Amino acid sequence: MSPKTLYDKIWDAHVAHEAEDGTCLLYIDRHLVHEVTSPQAFEGLRMANRPVRAPDKTIAVPDHNVPTTPGREDPKNMTEDSAIQVAALDKNAKDFGIHYYPVSDVRQGIVHIVGPEQGWTLPGMTVVCGDSHTATHGAFGALAHGIGTSEVEHVLATQTLIQKKSKNMKVEITGKLRPGVTAKDITLSVIGETGTAGGTGYVIEYCGEAIRDLSMEGRMTVCNMAIEGGARAGLIAPDEKTFEYVKGRPHAPKGAQFEAAMEWWKTLYSDDDAHWDKVITIKGEDIAPVVTWGTSPEDVLPITANVPSADDFEGGKVGAAQRSLDYMGLTPGTPLSDIEIDTVFIGSCTNGRIEDLRAAAEILKGKKIKDGLRAMVVPGSGLVRLQAEEEGLADIFKEAGFEWRLAGCSMCLAMNPDQLAEGERCVSTSNRNFEGRQGYKGRTHLVSPGMAAAAAITGKLTDVREMM
């Protein structure tokens, strides 16, 4: 048998039909659904009088729109249009008989945090969702990617997607990370190196010692931003850490089924002599704590660097860099660590898991945020929130001056009331620094949770290593 990559193996195990031109019907094992990109898809099913083909493999949770303040179970406490979308999801979940975690359920949270937490996401699966950060689930060695609403409808109706295979890219992070450097710094640094279109047409497999050393939470952070590098999906081969994480989760297999699953899961790795269409290698020790200065996730620099000038770039990026500098209100040559901030947001499907909150709390313990700063923590799920409360992390955040919110996507994309005002500068553990992403004319600097906590204390972009 010819050697295969992990992606090849998962792909081959899910082809339900292949046409002569290579167009495949890829079978989907898990379909995650949220309120913003699904109403039109369910409406399409109703119009065509079609059922959901595999309701048992379809899991819905409202996350994008929901407020993160108490009383949100009452639709009157949502904006009218948000309430309509959430009500539509309530109704669609009920009418079509799919698994559902409503706002009132303690297990509610960001769809990409709930999926793994509940054991819906397992190694070797195909996982899709009408959300680009579906890439997160690749941390389990699952082929996971975002789809549009037409494809949501297609999966609901047929449990398949029409797909052509992507190319294979290997991103290897060798050796150990230096202190203060995290999964977020890895994933941002990779995008800084490849650019936001560098992964277009590829599925990335992340490997190497620094990736193996990451926890499952860290691996999810790395895969989460594969989409920001343009890749269809990011993958990490499952190992003992993966199996340990999965074991005992509510929807993970139990007993003999778990053992049978393990047997297959252990075959899910790239063969030694597998073919790679592109290989990127980065030394773990070369990665620094990083921050974004512009309005594209590729605008990444070490915190010790200075704001660049548009002249530092070439081609179409010159104009884009100048536009970014103007939008961000930055002067070339300014040390990044001199940039004063207004707001800190800790949360999102990138960094809203328990380990992220622990990392931030570690820096904040016994300290206060800078006077006048707005700071909030939005746990990724109700269960992350509970655990953080049990571990005493919530108290650390609250005593430091952070707001302690309920779970949801919140200020990552600002579809709920958590938004930046015009010109407000935010240090954020989320995934996109696009113009207007966190609010009209809001300014976003992407960082790791530890860096966000450090910035909250000083009121400036700050090198977390100075606080360790």
Partner 1 sequence: MDKFETLTGIAAPMPLVNIDTDMIIPKQFLKTIKRSGLGANLFDEMRFDRQGNEIADFVLNQDAYRNAEILVAGDNFGCGSSREHAPWAIKDFGIRCVISTSFADIFYNNCFKNGILPIALPQEAVDVLMKDAEKGANARMTVDLENQTVTTSDGESFSFEVDAFKKHCLLEGLDDIGLTMEKAGSIDTFEAQAAQARPWV
Q: Among 107, 7, 11, which Cα is nearest to 59's?
A: 107
Tell me which residues in 359-398 interact with partner 1 (CB under 8 A): none
Q: How far are the Cα atoms of 4, 114, 237 from residue 274, in angstroms, in the given order?
A: 5, 33, 14
Q: Which CB sits closer to partner 1, 36 or 454?
A: 36
Q: Among 79, 77, 75, which Cα is nearest to 87's?
A: 75
121 interacts with partner 1 by CB under 8 A: no
194 interacts with partner 1 by CB under 8 A: no
Q: Which stretch binds partner 1 (CB under 8 A): 66-74, 139-147, 184-192, 210-218?
A: 139-147
Instruction: Fill in the amino acid letter for 356.
Output: D
Q: Which CB sits closer to partner 1, 149 or 215?
A: 149
The DSSP string of 258-296 is: HHHHHHHHTT-S--TT---SEEEEEEGGG---EEE-SSS
Q: Among 41, 221, 233, which Cα is nearest to 126's?
A: 233
430 interacts with partner 1 by CB under 8 A: no
Instruction: Fill in the amino acid letter for 142.
Output: A
Q: Which stretch binds partner 1 (CB under 8 A): 3-11, 283-291, 303-311, 313-321?
A: 313-321
Distance CA 455, CA 446 (A): 12
Closest approach, Cβ 304 to partner 1, in A, equals 26
Q: CA angle, corner 425, sides to 422 and 430, nearest 5?
A: 110
Q: Which CB sits closer to partner 1, 159 or 242?
A: 159
Closest approach, Cβ 22 to partner 1, in A, equals 9
Q: Which stretch binds partner 1 (CB under 8 A): 224-232, 271-279, 393-401, 456-464?
A: 224-232
The torsion angles phi and psi of 231, rounded to 5 degrees, stand at: -70, 150
Radius of gyration of the chain (CA): 21
Closest approach, Cβ 388 to partner 1, in A, equals 27
Tell me which residues in 21-40 interact with partner 1 (CB under 8 A): 21, 23, 25, 27, 29, 36-37, 39-40
**Candidate residues 98, 183, 236, 261; the one interacting with partner 1 per rule CB under 8 A:** 261
Q: Which CB sits closer to partner 1, 177 or 223?
A: 223
**284, 177 contact by CB (below 8 A):** yes
Closest approach, Cβ 326 to partner 1, in A, equals 13
Q: Which CB sits closer to partner 1, 94 or 164?
A: 164
Other residues' Cβ atoms within 10 Å of the Cβ of residue 263: 9
- Contact string (CB under 8 A) for partner 1, positions 239-258, x = contact: -------------xx---xx
- Contact string (CB under 8 A) for partner 1, positions 264-293, x = contact: x-----------------------------
Q: Which stretch binds partner 1 (CB under 8 A): 83-91, 278-286, 346-354, 456-464?
A: 83-91
Mark out the alpha helices in 137-182 (DSSP H runs): 149-158
310 interacts with partner 1 by CB under 8 A: no
Half-sphere exposure of 326 (CA within 13 A, CB side): 7
Tell me which residues in 410-429 interact with partner 1 (CB under 8 A): 413-415
**Candidate residues 323, 367, 370, 460; the one interacting with partner 1 per rule CB under 8 A:** 323
Looking up tokens 């915190």 gives 303
Tell me which residues in 143-172 interact with partner 1 (CB under 8 A): 145-151, 153-154, 157-160, 162, 164
Q: Which CB sits closer to partner 1, 122 or 369?
A: 122
The residue count for binding partner 1 (CB under 8 A) is 82
Q: How far are the Cα atoms of 31, 56, 119, 318, 462 from residue 254, in angstroms, in the given order?
A: 21, 17, 11, 55, 46
Q: How far are the Cα atoms of 188, 206, 329, 362 from residue 26, in angstroms, in the given order?
A: 30, 23, 46, 44
Work out the burial of residue 372: count CB atoms within 10 Å of its CB; fewer than 13 is exposed, 13-18 middle, 19 or more buried: exposed
**Candidate residues 304, 434, 460, 465; the one interacting with partner 1 per rule CB under 8 A:** 434
Task: Write down how long the chain is.
Answer: 468
**110, 351 contact by CB (below 8 A):** no
- For 258-263, which contacts have Cβ atoms below 8 Å and span 24 or more sequence positions? 261/122, 261/123
458 interacts with partner 1 by CB under 8 A: no
Tell me which residues in 200-219 interact with partner 1 (CB under 8 A): 200-201
Q: Which stretch binds partner 1 (CB under 8 A): 1-9, 69-77, 230-238, 331-339?
A: 230-238
Strand, helix or coil for residue 346: strand
Closest approach, Cβ 392 to partner 1, in A, equals 35
95 interacts with partner 1 by CB under 8 A: no
Q: Which stretch binds partner 1 (CB under 8 A): 1-9, 17-25, 207-215, 270-278?
A: 17-25
